[in-house]
Amino acid sequence: MATKTEPPTKSERRSSFQTSSGIELPNDFNPSNTEAINYEGDLNAPGEFPYTRGVRSNVYRGRFWTMRQYAGYATAGESNKRYKYLLAHGTTGLSVAFDLPTQIGLDSDDPLAAGEVGKVGVAIDSLEDMEQLFDGIPLDSVSTSMTINATASTLLCLYIAVAKRQRVASNKLNGTIQNDILKEYVARGTYIYPPAPSLRLVTDTFAFCAAEVPLWNTISISGYHIREAGSTAVQEVAFTLADAVAYVEAALQAKLKIDDFAPRLSFFFNAHNNLLEEIAKFRAARRLWARIMRERFGARDPRSMMLRFHTQTAGSTLTAQQPEVNVVRTTIQALAAVLGGTQSLHTNSMDEALALPTENSARVALRTQQVIAHESGVADTVDPLAGSYAIEHLTNEIERRANAYIEKIDAVGGMLRAIETGYVQREIQEAAYAYQRAIETQEAVVVGVNRFQLEEEPMQTILRIDPQLEQNQIERVRALRARRDDERTQNALTKLEEAARGTENLLPLILACVESFATVGEISNRLRRVWGEYREAVTV
């Protein structure tokens, strides 16, 4: 197939070279100019404060990062088959994608869920579904990450209940719930309740897990979705850490002690195409968080100061045009995450701009991580690009600019106030608009989209969800309601609703609800009765 455009000549190269955050890169960093690395604590040893070079002294020499593949679609039974397939091919951790109704607290038979059941993730309505999702997968020997926010406390309780039925104690469970509701208000939109009660669920989860599920990461504070919404790398770091500051402050107001909950905080970042900027971004985020925790919050436990993070390659960079090129993009992005010291990594599949990934494309995405781990050599030494003038300059500059954003947010009254006034949303929208304009003017080249197109795109094999699966799931949840002990269920739901009007920790009550086979929608509706639903403020 002929291409529609020819490669650029030398005269067509850009005259200005900047990162996504507008950081100017000189043609050459003069080795005699030590300004780039003249920063207190810049090159401390890995595993030492401020953790610029990593949170462990040996990083990947001890063990590789956890290789996750974000997966979930249709029903629990279908997703269970995909998890077993991925585990058989070398995945070392599961990462669960839930469908939209589950994310916003709707059961599959809710009229508002019509057409969305099982489409962007797996439909989970009850303990029965959760048990099927992990059928044959021992929860004491697998690490599970769940991308869930508004209903995170309910899904965690479902996971604990499944473990109990497998005779696995909750103190043996290892994994993460995203549980990051603040970024939903600025970047993603799968919120249910207003911010204040939503934060209560977050801090209730902190306290409950500290006592009952000590190995669990109680939150994964997400810059990923902020970046997917169009932010720059600097904004991703700044707004993610500002969200984290708000969570820490909420936990302290709830009388939790900083070193009791902070060691289980984790983060979730995006990996984009600009290799050098992304590596520097991860290093800058670690250093900035370490200083915030020690200097602002007085943390004393080193684990409270360590920014541990999962990375996912950038879905927004994937193209429906020439999707095989996405393998190259994903490889560059995954390499940036590894060179930046990620603890966990998901690599997107080449066909995700078209549909949910096929088994073949998911396997290629996993193999990408395995090649980097076992063949590239980049995991053989800690922070191998440390001391690079370009990397150190970018690390310093990203930290400086991100810190300036955090100071602005503090000045307007903190992240909640910045969200309420639309400040954060506007900053992201302006960055997204600027990037889109750059694509339209070809200042930014996207291969296959605005340059190097094909006259005719070949047909692609994509995964299609059988529409009958939605009806099957609807019948499944209705049959559950018909055969459960409904008096027991309603009693548990009433106790939860009453507690939501007070200050009691809600996690034990939610656990009692799911164990009595209350559905995700029923639990969410009882909380809606007390707290109402959030309506987004319009920003211009």
101 upstream amide cis, omega within 30 of 0: no
Q: Which of 258, 230, 151 is nearest to 430 (CA)?
A: 230
Domain 59-440 top-level CATH class? alpha beta
- The pLDDT score that the predictor gives to residue 52 is 96
- Would you give per-residue pLDDT tens digits along the chain (540 residues)? 555 555 444 445 555 688 989 998 888 776 665 554 555 446 789 999 999 999 999 989 989 999 998 889 899 999 999 999 999 999 988 999 999 999 999 999 999 999 999 999 999 999 999 999 999 999 999 999 999 999 999 999 999 999 999 999 999 999 999 999 999 999 999 999 999 999 999 999 999 999 999 999 999 999 999 999 999 999 999 999 999 999 999 999 999 999 999 999 999 999 999 999 999 999 999 999 999 999 999 999 999 999 999 999 999 999 999 999 999 999 999 999 999 999 999 999 999 999 889 999 999 999 999 999 999 999 999 999 998 989 999 999 999 999 999 999 999 999 999 998 999 999 999 999 999 999 999 999 999 999 999 988 888 888 888 889 999 999 999 999 999 999 999 999 999 999 999 999 999 999 999 999 999 999 999 999 999 999 876 655
Q: How far is CA 65 from CA 249, 308, 309, in A?
A: 30, 11, 10
- The pLDDT score that the predictor gives to residue 201 is 97
- Per-residue buried b or exposed e for 351-371, using 16+ beta carbons within 10 Å of the residue's own CB: bbbbbbbbeebbbbbbebbee
Residue 496: its H or E element: helix 486-500
**Contact predicate 280/42, CB 8 Å:** no
Partners of 147 in the beta sheet? 97
Q: Which residues are within 8 A (CB) of 409 and not within 5 positions of it... i.e. 6 or more apart?
A: 238, 242, 415, 418, 423, 424
Partners of 4 in the beta sheet? none
Q: How far is CA 102 from CA 5, 208, 268, 508, 515, in A?
A: 44, 22, 21, 20, 17
d(CA 418, CA 245): 13
The runs of H, that is alpha helices, within 413-467 are 415-420, 423-440
**Contact predicate 252/203, CB 8 Å:** no
Decide: helix, strand or coil at residue 145: strand
The runs of H, that is alpha helices, within 375-414 are 389-411
Q: How far apart are the first and last CA of the chain?
A: 44
Radius of gyration of the chain measured on its C-alpha atoms: 23
d(CA 300, CA 293): 9
Structure-block tokens of residue 293: 């925790």
- The pLDDT score that the predictor gives to residue 26 is 80
- The pLDDT score that the predictor gives to residue 71 is 87
**Contact predicate 94/143, CB 8 Å:** yes
d(CA 303, CA 265): 9
| Helix 275-291 and helix 326-339, axial crossing angle in degrees, nearest 10 | 40
Q: Which of 299, 199, 211 is nearest to 243 (CA)?
A: 199
- The pLDDT score that the predictor gives to residue 41 is 46
Partners of 271 in the beta sheet? 313
Question: How many Cβ atoms sit within 10 Å of the Cβ of residue 70?
Answer: 22
Q: How far is CA 514 from CA 186, 231, 454, in A?
A: 30, 37, 52
Structural domain spans, the chain: 59-440
**Contact predicate 309/343, CB 8 Å:** yes
Decide: helix, strand or coil at residue 329: helix
- What are the pLDDT digits (tens) for 111-142? 999 999 999 999 999 999 999 999 999 999 99
